[in-house]
Chains A and B, each alone.
Chain A
Amino acid sequence: MAHRSAAELEEERLEILAAQRDRAAFAPLYERYVDQIHAYVYTLTHDMEQADDVTAATFAKAMEELPRFEWRGVPYSAWLYRVAGNLVSRERRRPGWIELEPRMLPDAAADPALHAEENDRADEVRAAVAGLPNDQRQAILLRFGGDLRNREIAEIMGRSEGAVKLLTFRALTSLRRRLGAPMPAERLSRSGS
């Protein structure tokens, strides 16, 4: 996983400072994180409309809290995930299963058949993540969707780093059992890295 470098964190700190001076400067932060937060909320709720609403409320809260936000050297997304998670918890109604409807941007250059196959697989993977127990699902979403470190995830979830490692292990074991081996491209990318 590619965690944020010190230079990238510094850049983000400056962006937040700029947004604190002028809310129009908040837009780059929104653009960077809206997909992550939306995917996170959708995977927690299985409800597209709720994902839209909670994502909007999360960024509204972010804008409201900007003047009081204090940089602590962790990605801004850690704060956004915590807010989004709290909002979901507050409004949580045990949802029934509904069909995942991912809204993907088409890649014009891609082979349509391959693209469809990749989309189907991505749907399958997200559905498997959605089916995990809540704690495991959250740990996986924060680690692999948010690229956050264990200590950041632990803080968001109110758990120890050791507990986060264990949740990640259990979740990946369960996903591996359900999904089997990744598509060949995934295996190739790992062996090439």
Chain B
Amino acid sequence: MSVEDRLDAALTGDMVAFAASPEVSGLVATGDEVGGALAAWALDPMQRAQIYAAALAIADASGFGDRLRAFGLDRRVQAIAGGTVVTLAAAAAVSVAIARGRRHDPASLIA
């Protein structure tokens, strides 16, 4: 068994391989320290949010329609658009009703 095989076995938890030679156990300890140093790398919440926002912006920048379809969002967008049309129509109807009301409101005539 080569030294790199023994190291690999020790890194995956083989205690016999780990204890077999000081060289291997030393390299495992160094590997543990490297793992700890890399795991200690942590972005703060603001940076995480910024990178996520950038990722979303990139993902949405091209092929927007395809992406909407891929995620099934087109139906939601249509629903939102439909809802917006209904809302606008309702608002227009209310405006007309108010205008008519004003037209027939004696107070408005006086004013």
Contact = CB atoms under 8 A, between A and B. Distances in A.
Interface string B14-43: 000000000001111111111111111111
Contacts of B48: 31, 34
B99 to A, nearest CB: 42
Interface residues of B, number: 44
A150 B4 CA distance: 12
Contacts, number: 152
Contacts of B57: 60
Interface string B38-58: 111111100110111011111
A104 B38 contact: no
A38 B44 CA distance: 12
- Give chain A's interface secondary structure class: helix
B70 interface: yes
A118 B55 CA distance: 32
Contacts of B71: 22-23, 66-67
Interface of B: 3-5, 7-8, 11-13, 25-44, 47-48, 50-52, 54-59, 67, 70-73
7 contacts: A30-B52, A38-B43, A63-B59, A64-B67, A66-B71, A67-B71, A179-B33
Interface of A: 1, 3, 21-23, 27, 30-31, 34-36, 38-39, 42-43, 52-53, 55-64, 66-67, 102-105, 118-119, 121-122, 125-126, 129, 140-141, 143-145, 147, 150, 165-166, 168-169, 172-173, 175-176, 179, 181-183, 186-187, 189-190
